[in-house]
Amino acid sequence: MAKFIEWCDLFRIGIPAIDSQHQGLIDIANTFHLQMTREFKSKPIFETLNRLIAYAQDHFSAEEDLLEKQGFPKELLAEHKEKHEQLVEDIFSLNEDLVNGRISTMGEIETFLVNWLVLHILIEDKKIRDHLSI
């Protein structure tokens, strides 16, 4: 079965630790998506979503620390941190929507995962590569 999000060089920003973490996020997102497409069993789905939340928070912290050490411009770093904070809020909101039955279609989940993960890596995290000239 094909993965929902397939890792490819397009996602690579050129910092091995960050690229590895991005692959980890994509793996968790794929697991979450697979669980949502199968028979709905809330315990594994919520465990995976909680894993995604924890992993994302660790990744964001590591990425922000790296950017600060690499001299990423303060104003761009502040914007990047704000986007990370919004993403974490969005994940918590998704979790709440799932718990309360406000999400009824896979399309909503897929849209969230693509917007949250793929677009953030392709747009926001590419700024890291551009700035660090990797």
106-113 and 16-37 helices, crossing angle to 10°: 180
Q: In this predicted structure, what is the pLDDT of residue 104?
A: 64
Q: Where are the domains of the chain?
A: 16-132
Q: In this predicted structure, what is the pLDDT of residue 22?
A: 92
Burial string for 90-125 (b: 16+ CB within 10 Å, else e) reads ebeebbeebeeeebeeeeebbebbeebbeebbeeeb
Residue range 78-107: mean pLDDT, rounded:
82
pLDDT digits (tens, 9 = 90+) for 9-50: 989 988 898 999 999 989 988 888 888 777 656 677 778 778
The architecture in CATH of the region 16-132 reads Up-down Bundle (1.20)
Taking the model in full, what pTM does it have?
0.80
Mean pLDDT, the chain, integer: 83
